[in-house]
């Protein structure tokens, strides 16, 4: 199981602290391996943003998701499902 998938599994089990640690570790590894603007980095940022939102750290969730959206949009364009999901998440995080 990859680190990213392990983090998602932990998140689904409501082990948010461990999920965040796992996703942060995965992010560091993916950035080093692929560079800061790779879609795998954006996928991990999306998961991290969701965890941050669940921890009610909305500012951090917004920043992670904005970065993911920028990467997805640059890689795939604004109409790709990853870009659109990141935009929906961002809109959700910003709404009261």
Domain locations in the chain as residue ranges = 3-94
Amino acid 11: pLDDT: 64
Structure-token match 């920028």, residue found: 70
Burial of 95 per CB tally in 10 Å (0-12, 13-18, 19+): exposed
Tens of pLDDT, residues 70-96: 999 999 999 999 999 999 999 998 876
Domain 3-94 homologous superfamily, CATH: Tetratricopeptide repeat domain (1.25.40.10)
Q: How many residues are given for the chain?
A: 96
Rg (CA), the chain: 12
Predicted confidence at residue 3, as pLDDT, reads 63
The pLDDT tens digits for 17-59 are 788 898 999 999 999 999 999 999 999 999 999 999 999 999 9
């Amino acid at each position: 199981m990859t680190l990213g998938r392990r983090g998602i599994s932990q998140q689904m089990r409501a082990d948010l602290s461990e999920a965040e640690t796992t996703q942060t570790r995965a992010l560091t590894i993916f950035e080093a391996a692929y560079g800061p603007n790779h879609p795998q980095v954006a996928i991990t940022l999306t998961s991290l943003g969701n965890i941050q939102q669940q921890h009610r750290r909305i500012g951090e969730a917004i920043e992670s998701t904005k970065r993911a959206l920028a990467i997805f949009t640059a890689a795939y364009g604004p109409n790709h499902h990853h870009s659109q999901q990141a935009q929906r998440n961002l809109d959700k995080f910003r709404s009261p």
